[in-house]
């Protein structure tokens, strides 16, 4: 019992003091570093201003009892690299004491929203891990797009918020003003945080709607281009157009859609997309500017394409190097590759310069494409070049070139994006015009091919004439295009037969017209002379000045009724006699030399013996491995029926027209054997 002299008010004071002492022992006091009193307006409060910050890493820094008063103060509305830690990598810690202001507006439970933090991080509330985004070394995982994340903190109370951040190694184009917070966290009730998250998502979608619309347009063009190529595999311009347009939406999906794809995987998959977009632009320009007929430029494009692909593989290797404890060598590799990348990015400008230098006469739509491609690529190459090593040079122009030029419904439009859309529109129009013109020319070419085929079919004998004392077989298998093979089988009045076989270089209507000239010449000459050498001599004179850089081979064979064979050859494959190649004088092809002469070779063909004449489409048939049918195979099959020889060459791999003519001497009854006078050998005056 207390003494009676102690006042009642003093007892109350002593009781309150004791209660306060007990409370102080039960709850650890917060450190003396700066804190913030939070008043929730609408259920949420922004934790802006200065936080305690320290580079490095120590698990003890998550504890609420840790004294962080010696740490520096850092704003959370911009990264640490833009403040006092330029180009800093690896770990950094943020801490903030949070005291709930007394009042009825405090929520029952708390959650926190971290809008943008670079790169991976963990969130601690009163020393307890409440959430994380990504993973830390030795197996780091971070994401290419900074995405807001929210975490529950449990029952509402005062406490210490600590955020452990890991910044990935800087690449060669980083300006060093990176790392950590880009915007202050938001604290509040779960419903308020959910509303704040929805608001961020809405603003993000609103700011990207133009970019998404452009990517969707690119995707549609890509799909239609590839479908057009699938319908007609000859439309290579549609192929290049399709893949060029498809590259942008693929990159959008990998890097800018807030998908949970780790940075290394997204960038690794983006390397072939990046290479695809560049290379297809090269070939688009080569086709549209009519430069694909330049073998040196086409070869250069292919070589540089392989170099670009190899660079992409090396660049991906540099990305994987970021996972190692010491990424410095890979940062050096990343920087060393950039000059090569910049040089490769200049190749479209070289293609355009080549078209200008060659003074290509092109329609305005194609030159518009060239101009826009020049601007599009120049802006990109210049900005990439200026950003290299910018944290050492402190140049800002490269970054500024990537800033929006103007806004459209809250969407920033950069210079390269603006020229990219204009380039796509110009490409679509130019490709459309090109396709229409190509289809028109293709239709004309196909009509010419049909006409040439009709001419050639008329000139090829439909029926083999019957010649007493001989069995004659012939097979003609045209290739896919009109070729220049021709042959004629002309019975002679006094018995025997005149066989002419030849090949005109070239295809299409010019070859068909040359064949018609030769066949007409042979038929006319046969009325005046049956001398193979004289016939070739006259044909040579007719072909002078008509070759246009090509040549014509021809072999003329006269078989007399008594089995005497006389032949002359103008560069044509030698015939086979009983399975062996005949040794004959081989003169020049027709039309090359005004003084060319053609000697004759005579021999006897015995009963049941065979001579086989073939065009070069037989010996030059090419298999899938590139192997030629060859003379040995032709000789081995030369005693087979003509159809079997032609079919064997066709099955091996037909590249050209195939013509086979066989002549077999048959026994003739003695009463029918009539000795006839020697035919006239006088040549036709030309």
Q: Are residues 162 and 129 in the same domain?
A: yes
pLDDT recorded at residue 457: 61
- DSSP codes joined into one string, 477-520: E--SS---EEEEEEE-TTS-EEEEEEEESS-HHHHHHHHHHHHH
Per-residue pLDDT of 295-335, as tens digits, reads 999 999 999 999 988 887 777 666 665 555 555 566 666 66
Confidence of residue 532 (pLDDT cuts 50, 70, 90): very high
Q: Are residues 559 and 653 in the same domain?
A: yes
Q: Are residues 338 and 468 in the same domain?
A: no
**Tokens in use for 661?**
């003519």
Name the E strands within 56-179: 72-75, 90-100, 109-114, 117-118, 120-125, 128-133, 149-155, 159-167
Cα angle, residue 596 at apex, residues 595 and 598 outer, rounded to 5°: 140
Query: How distant, in Å, are the alpha carbons of 108, 114, 613 from that of 258?
Result: 32, 15, 72
**Inside any domain, residue 306:** yes
Backbone angles phi, psi at 37, to 5 degrees: -90, 125
**Do the strands 35-38 and 180-181 form a parallel or antiparallel pair, or are they unpaired?**
unpaired
Percentage of the chain with pLDDT > 90? 41
**Inside any domain, residue 337:** yes
Percentage of the chain with pLDDT > 70? 85
C-alpha to C-alpha distance for 259 and 251, rounded to whole angstroms: 12
C-alpha to C-alpha distance for 161 and 165, rounded to whole angstroms: 13
Q: Lowest-pLDDT range, 269-278, 310-319, 329-338, 364-373?
A: 329-338
Contact between 386 and 402 (Cβ < 8 Å): no
**Inside any domain, residue 197:** no
Q: Are residues 300 and 352 in the same domain?
A: yes
pLDDT recorded at residue 232: 83
C-alpha to C-alpha distance for 332 and 339, rounded to whole angstroms: 12
Contact between 112 and 193 (Cβ < 8 Å): yes
Which residues 6+ apart lie within 8 Å of 423 measured at CB? 369, 372, 373, 376
Q: Are residues 483 and 347 in the same domain?
A: no
pLDDT recorded at residue 499: 94
pLDDT greater than 60 at residue 672: no
Which residues 6+ apart lie within 8 Å of 509 measured at CB? 448, 449, 451, 452, 455, 482
Backbone angles phi, psi at 161, to 5 degrees: -100, 125
End-to-end alpha carbon distance in the chain: 155
**Inside any domain, residue 445:** no
Per-residue pLDDT of 588-646, as tens digits, reads 999 888 889 999 999 999 999 999 999 988 998 988 888 999 999 999 999 999 999 99
C-alpha to C-alpha distance for 219 and 222, rounded to whole angstroms: 5
- Average pLDDT on 541-546 reads 85
Size of the chain in residues:
686
Backbone CA torsion sign across 397, 400, 402, 407: negative
Provide the domain count of the chain: 3
**Inside any domain, residue 557:** yes
140 DSSP β-pair partners = none
Q: Lowest-pLDDT range, 299-313, 355-369, 518-532?
A: 355-369
> What is the domain-level CATH number for residue 526?
3.60.40.10
Q: Are residues 183 and 213 in the same domain?
A: no
* Predicted TM-score (pTM) above 0.85: no
Mean pLDDT of the chain: 83
Place of tokens 């190459």: 381
**Inside any domain, residue 684:** no
38 DSSP β-pair partners = 100
Q: Are residues 409 and 477 in the same domain?
A: no
Q: Which residue has the higher pLDDT, 293 or 574?
A: 574
**Tokens in use for 332?**
């050096």
Contact between 433 and 363 (Cβ < 8 Å): yes
Confidence of residue 504 (pLDDT cuts 50, 70, 90): confident
**Inside any domain, residue 603:** yes
Cα angle, residue 667 at apex, residues 663 and 671 outer, rounded to 5°: 130
121 DSSP β-pair partners = 133, 165
Helix (H, G, I), strand (E, B) or coil at 283: helix
Q: Are residues 472 and 390 in the same domain?
A: no
Burial of 350 (0-12, 13-18, 19+ CB in 10 A): middle
C-alpha to C-alpha distance for 119 and 237, rounded to whole angstroms: 42
Q: Are residues 175 and 292 in the same domain?
A: no
**Inside any domain, residue 681:** no
Q: Are residues 116 and 230 in the same domain?
A: no
Place of tokens 């000795």: 675
Nearest to 217 by CA among 414, 423, 431, 382: 423
Q: Are residues 604 and 481 in the same domain?
A: yes
> What is the domain-level CATH number for residue 100?
2.60.120.260
What radius of gyration, in Å, describes the C-alpha atoms of the chain?
Answer: 43
Confidence of residue 484 (pLDDT cuts 50, 70, 90): confident
Nearest to 559 by CA among 570, 549, 567: 567
> What is the domain-level CATH number for residue 406?
1.20.1070
Query: How distant, in Å, are the alpha carbons of 186, 202, 213, 256, 410 from that of 205?
Result: 20, 5, 11, 11, 10
C-alpha to C-alpha distance for 538 and 528, rounded to whole angstroms: 11
C-alpha to C-alpha distance for 639 and 575, rounded to whole angstroms: 12
Domain that holds residue 104: 11-188
Q: 260-271 burial by CB neighbour count: b if 16+ within 10 A, else e?
A: ebebbebbbbbb
Q: Are residues 317 and 228 in the same domain?
A: yes
**Do the strands 50-55 and 149-155 form a parallel or antiparallel pair, or are they unpaired?**
unpaired
Confidence of residue 451 (pLDDT cuts 50, 70, 90): low
């Amino acid at each position: 019992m207390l003494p009676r002299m102690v006042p009642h008010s003093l007892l109350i004071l002593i009781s309150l003091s004791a209660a306060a002492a007990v409370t102080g022992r039960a709850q650890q006091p917060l450190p003396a570093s700066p804190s913030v009193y939070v008043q929730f307006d609408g259920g949420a409060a922004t934790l802006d201003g200065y936080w305690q910050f320290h580079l490095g890493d120590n698990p003890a820094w998550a504890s609420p009892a840790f004294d962080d008063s010696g740490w520096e103060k850092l704003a959370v509305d911009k990264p640490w690299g833009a403040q006092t830690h330029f180009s800093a990598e690896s770990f950094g810690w943020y801490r903030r004491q949070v005291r709930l202001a007394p009042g009825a507006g405090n929520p029952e439970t708390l959650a926190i929203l971290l809008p943008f933090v670079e790169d991976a991080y963990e969130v601690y509330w009163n020393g307890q891990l409440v959430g994380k985004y990504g993973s830390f070394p030795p197996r780091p995982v971070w994401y290419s797009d900074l995405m807001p994340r929210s975490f529950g903190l449990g029952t509402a109370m005062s406490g210490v918020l600590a955020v452990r951040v890991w910044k990935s190694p800087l690449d060669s184009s980083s300006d060093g003003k990176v790392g950590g917070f880009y915007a202050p966290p938001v604290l509040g009730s779960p419903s308020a945080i959910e509303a704040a998250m929805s608001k961020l998502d809405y603003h993000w979608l609103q700011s990207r709607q133009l970019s998404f619309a452009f990517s969707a347009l690119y995707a549609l063009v890509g799909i239609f281009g590839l479908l057009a190529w699938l319908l007609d595999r000859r439309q290579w311009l549609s192929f290049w157009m399709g893949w060029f347009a498809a590259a942008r939406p693929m990159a959008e999906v990998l890097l800018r859609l807030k998908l949970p794809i780790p940075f290394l995987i997204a960038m690794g998959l983006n390397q072939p997309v990046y290479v695809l977009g560049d290379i297809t632009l090269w070939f688009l320009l080569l086709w549209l500017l009519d430069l694909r007929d330049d073998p040196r430029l086409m070869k250069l494009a292919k070589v540089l394409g392989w170099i670009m692909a190899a660079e992409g593989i090396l660049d991906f290797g540099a990305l994987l190097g970021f996972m190692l404890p010491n990424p410095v060598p890979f940062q050096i590799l990343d920087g060393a590759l950039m000059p090569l990348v910049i040089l490769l990015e200049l190749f479209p400008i070289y293609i355009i310069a080549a078209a200008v230098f060659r003074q290509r006469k092109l329609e305005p739509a194609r030159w518009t494409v060239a101009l826009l491609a020049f601007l599009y690529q120049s802006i990109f190459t210049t900005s990439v070049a200026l950003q290299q090593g910018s944290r050492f040079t402190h140049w800002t122009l490269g970054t500024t070139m990537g800033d929006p030029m103007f806004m459209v419904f809250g969407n920033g439009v950069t210079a390269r994006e603006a020229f990219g859309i204009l380039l796509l529109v110009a490409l679509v129009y130019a490709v459309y015009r090109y396709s229409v013109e190509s289809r028109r020319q293709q239709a004309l070419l196909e009509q010419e091919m049909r006409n040439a085929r009709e001419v050639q079919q008329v000139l090829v004998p439909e029926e083999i004439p019957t010649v007493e004392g001989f069995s004659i077989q012939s097979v003609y298998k045209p290739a896919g295009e009109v070729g220049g093979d021709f042959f004629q089988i002309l019975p002679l009045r006094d018995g025997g037969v005149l066989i002419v076989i030849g090949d005109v270089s070239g295809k299409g209507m010019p070859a068909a017209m040359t064949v018609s000239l030769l066949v007409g010449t042979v038929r006319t000459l046969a009325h005046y002379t049956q001398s193979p050498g004289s016939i070739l001599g006259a044909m040579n004179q007719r072909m002078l000045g008509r070759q246009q850089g090509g040549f014509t081979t021809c072999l003329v064979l006269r078989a007399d009724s008594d089995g005497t064979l006389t032949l002359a050859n103008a560069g044509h494959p030698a015939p086979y006699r009983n399975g062996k190649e005949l040794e004959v004088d081989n003169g020049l092809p027709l039309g090359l030399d005004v003084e060319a002469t053609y000697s004759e070779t005579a021999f006897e063909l015995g009963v049941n013996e065979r001579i086989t004449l073939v065009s070069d489409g037989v010996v030059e048939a090419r298999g899938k491995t590139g192997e030629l049918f060859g003379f040995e195979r032709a000789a081995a099959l030369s005693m087979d029926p003509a159809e079997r020889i032609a079919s064997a060459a066709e099955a091996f791999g037909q590249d050209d027209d195939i013509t086979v003519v066989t002549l077999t001497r048959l026994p003739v009854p003695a009463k029918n054997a009539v000795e006839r006078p020697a035919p006239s050998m006088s040549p036709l005056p030309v």
